[in-house]
Structure 1
Amino acid sequence: MNQDTIPDTSSISSHHDNEITSVVAFINAIKEDIDDPFSENRGTEVFYRGHADESWDLKPSIVRSDKGIKNEHLLFRDMVAHVPQDFSECKSALDYLVQMQHYGLPTRLLDVTTNPLVALYFACQPAGDTTVSGIVNAAFDAAYGIAFDAEAYAENYPDGSSISSNSDRLEAILSSVGVLAGVLTAANTKHEENPIGARMVSCIVASLIKEFPDLAAEIQAGVDAGKKAAIEAGPKDGAVYLFSVPENRVKHYDSETVSILSNLAKCDDSDIDFSTKQSSDEEEHNRLEEFNEQPSIQILLHQVEEEKPYFSPLIDPHDLGSVFLVKAKYGNPRITNQAGAFFLFGLGIDQDDPLDLEEQSLAKGGHVEIPSDWIRHKFIVPKEKKTKILEELAHLGITESYIYPGIEQYAKELKKRYNL
């Protein structure tokens, strides 16, 4: 991915009025905003999205790494080939993408909801692998690897001479020990987790530095890296975004525009390079015809015509470089309960192109962003309020088993309810 920027949210208020401390406060804040007679967001539809970490970007998962966008067409086909029965009801590229999103495969969709309480539920979740427990567990996994390496050396070279002679291997082992020590020390200092483990590993590090003074810098670098990881981990403030999307950018699942953007997922990124160069005196109709005669466009048109034989083979370049809000079919209980909809992302400007706008082209490697004026509010959920708000949501029926319908989730909920 060539673009790594995020929407400009500098105009969004970040003062304490935007902090959500309870469900009631959240509902009141939304009601006040929607009922505002001076709002400039008339002629729009409102949607919400919750982030467990307020610093996360508003990007679809497929564009969060270069490898994702480069292999999008392979992910699409491999997934369908592996479990074709799970896609037997899919009639369009959008149907496939929604199902893939359901299974956790990276796509060009970004989930939103029409239910603000669902968004608030997601905003109150822990921030995934960046939690302290996740960092500590990863450090312990590294420790097991270290122990395995040391044991292997001891078995093969009982006198220990090989360990010292293999400096690269030794450096890696000692650096890993340092990382573990740093993680546990910082986790104990900041979050009071595993104090005994922290002291034990710190003693080991001190002994290793004494035994291998030439590698003291590498060990200390590992300690510093571990401390940084643990300090940056821990509970995060969440966020709920309130979007006001213009009605002309809201599409239904059977829209031709939606078919065009969805079928981009089936195209190799090397096939997608649409020139936007046009002479200024060209008439609109001729401009569109010239644009649609490009070989890359013909490939995309073929994909769209496979699902819509009646499709008029004329693509507007403005649509390709846009974001649309899609109201998908409620084809499974999860989307129904979550009142789900999706942002569907098109193409961005290829950042390898020259600065001259007349020479630029649209490419899968470029990333188009949600327009900043669609982001009406960003409400912050303080990390210390998350547990309380989740309890309040549970009283309203917004629980894990509601968000993720299924017997497994309900079983987990029952175990929690009865302290099992």
Structure 2
Amino acid sequence: MSDTTEAIEQVTSLSDYINKVGKLHLTQERKLKQLNSEKQMNIYYRGQNQNFPNTLPSLIRNENYLKNEDKLINDFITKYPELFGNCQNNFDRLALMQHHQLPTRLLDLTSNPLVALYFAVERSDGNTNKNTDLIDGKIFPFTNFYDQVPLYQSLANDHFENIFSEFTSIKGNNRQFLKSPFSDEIEIESSLARLNGDDRNLVLNEVNDFYKTLNSVDAKPQTYWSNLYADIVNSSENPRDQNNLLETYEFFNKMSSTKRLYHEIKKDIGDFEAKINPLELFVPKIVTPRIIDQRIKNQRGLFMFVPFVDNNGFREDGSSVLLDSNEIQKRTQTRINILRLLSSPENSSPENQQPVTFVIPYEKKESIRAELESMGITESFIYPDPSHIAHEILKYY
């Protein structure tokens, strides 16, 4: 997403930033009143000290990493099995790997806007050649309520526009996007990341075919999958099937690659019921991790679980097309943008609202760092481990 499609907010000082964040929260409260929703609309922040052209995790920015996602994960576990002794599921394992800088499809977020500001003005470390004090920093706010424009665009990429109606029932309901690390949906996707690459691609191909079938069914005024899936979960004797949608779903569940996915899940959840909802795989989720150490606690850390984009897409005539790396990155970014926080000018239509981005001019980074330090947001607070504490002490001598 380029700057021309964003609502840019320049940040010149700590107080300026706090005022702008306060306005965001007032805007969110107004949106909730318009939705008549009792759910809490949260704001999450991602700070980047470099002007990357996107908010993709490093795994997805690197084609080779993405192709070998399962190998990265399994090799790390094999080499450091003792590190994962307290992990309870595959999401815990992914979160711990992310914590140790292994590229994963988790995107680091924080619920503390000051922590995000620290990351946006943070100095580069000794392992990089880039002087980040010569580069503008950015902060991207996200929320747990979806934006219908990028959701529709993501579906339209493969001509699945009719499926959009299946998501409308969750407007004003944040449960679709805000997840516990113990939720079945997060376990499914975390396990899919560990699945052998060929098996994972087969599962994603079949999920794409399911979307295609559902799209043809939903061309009619009603939505069918929501009702049918509820009947499947409740083991109804007379499921509300239309156009053999149940048969398509059962075929997906019987595939050997899907069964291997269920096997991987059951290593963590022995009583897992093999009834995946394919629509859950389409959208990003915000996950609150277990507090495994002081760093996550201090940083008020969360993760966005970035959804999988199949290597194969569909043309308008329904034929399959192989997507290149750039297109996969573009489509993944559009999916991430489903949870970007929008500006809300008075009386503006959804199409005219733009994702908010805070930009910290590089010449303001040093002064804002000093302001943050005076508020206790220091290197040793963000990274409370001996090496970072030692580094902070050395700065005074």
TM-score by length of 1: 0.67
SS in structure 2 at match of 1:27? helix
Q: Which amino acid aligns with 1:355?
A: R
CA distance in 2 between partners of 1:364 and 1:299 (Å): 27
Q: Distance in 2 between matches of 1:401 and 1:271?
A: 43
| Pair 135,107 (structure 1): closer, same or farther in 2 beyond 3 Å | closer
Corresponding residue for 1:266?
194
**In structure 2, what is the equivalent of residue 394 of structure 1?**
373
Aligned equivalent of 1:79: 76
Secondary structure of 1:375's match? coil
Secondary structure of 1:349's partner?
Answer: coil
Task: Tell me which of 358, 365, 374 is aligned to 2:340.
Answer: 374
**Shift, 1:12, TM fit:** 2.6
Matched, 1:12 2:6: yes
**For the Cα contact (< 8 Å) 2:47–2:119, is it kept in 1?**
yes
Q: 1:315 maps to what in 2?
A: 276
8 Å Cα contact 2:314/2:321 also seen in 1: no
Q: What is the percent sequence identity of the aligned residues?
A: 29
Higher CA-based Rg:
1
1:101 paired to 2:62: no
| Amino acid aligned to 1:298 | K
Offset of residue 398 of structure 1: 0.7
Query: Cα deviation per residue 1:194-249 (whole Å; 9 max; x = unaligned)?
Result: xxxxxxxxxxxxxxxxxxxxxxxxxxxxxxxxxxxxxxx97111111111222120
For residues 3-402 of structure 1, the aligned pairs below 5 Å read 7=1, 10-14=4-8, 18-36=9-27, 39-40=30-31, 43=39, 44-126=41-123, 134=129, 235-246=134-145, 247=174, 248-272=176-200, 273=202, 274-275=205-206, 276-277=208-209, 278=213, 280=217, 281-282=242-243, 284-351=245-312, 353-356=313-316, 358=318, 366=328, 368=332, 369-372=335-338, 374-376=340-342, 377-402=356-381
User: SS of the residue aligned with 1:308?
Assistant: coil
Q: Deviations over 1:14-46 (max 9, x none)?
A: 2xxx11111111111111121137743665321
The answer on whether the counterparts of 2:106 and 2:303 sit within 8 Å (CA) in structure 1 is yes
Contact in 1 for aligned 2:284/2:339 (Cα 8 Å): no
The alpha carbon displacement at 1:333 in A equals 1.1
CA apart distance, 1:11: 4.3
Gaps of 5+ in 1: 1-6, 137-232
- Render the CA deviation track for 1:262-316: whole Å, top value 9, x for unaligned: 1122112221223232263535544432322233222211111111112110112
Change (3 A) 1:360 1:251: farther
Match of 1:405 in 2: 384
TM-score for both structures, normalised by structure 2: 0.71
Partner secondary structure for residue 342 of structure 1: strand
In the TM superposition, residue 413 of structure 1 has moved relative to its aligned partner by: 1.0
Cα offset for 1:404?
0.7
| 1:200 alignment partner in structure 2 | none
Distance in 2 between the 1:299 and 1:55 partners?
Answer: 37
Q: Deviations over 1:173-194 (max 9, x none)?
A: xxxxxxxxxxxxxxxxxxxxxx
1:362-411 Cα shifts (integer Å, max 9, x gaps): 99974533134623321110100000001110111111111111122111
- Counterpart amino acid of 1:245? N
CA contact (8 A) 1:326 1:342 kept: yes
Which amino acid counterpart does residue 292 of structure 1 have in structure 2?
N
Q: Give the length in aligned residue pairs.
A: 310
Matched position secondary structure for 2:179: strand
**Equivalent-residue separation in structure 2 for 1:362 and 1:263 (angstroms):** 24
Q: Contact 2:133 / 2:362 at 8 angstroms: preserved in 1?
A: no
Question: Partners in 1 of 2:384 and 2:250 — Cα distance?
Answer: 48
Structure 2 unaligned spans of 5+: 146-173, 218-241, 343-355
Distance of aligned partners of 1:416 and 1:130 in 2 relative to their CA distance in 1, 3 Å threshold: closer
Deviation at 1:344, TM superposition (A): 0.5
Give the 3 Å change call, closer, same or farther, for CA 81–10 of structure 1 in structure 2: same
Code of the residue aligned with 2:183 in structure 1: it is S
How far is 1:338 from its partner?
0.5
Q: Secondary structure at the match of 2:114?
A: helix
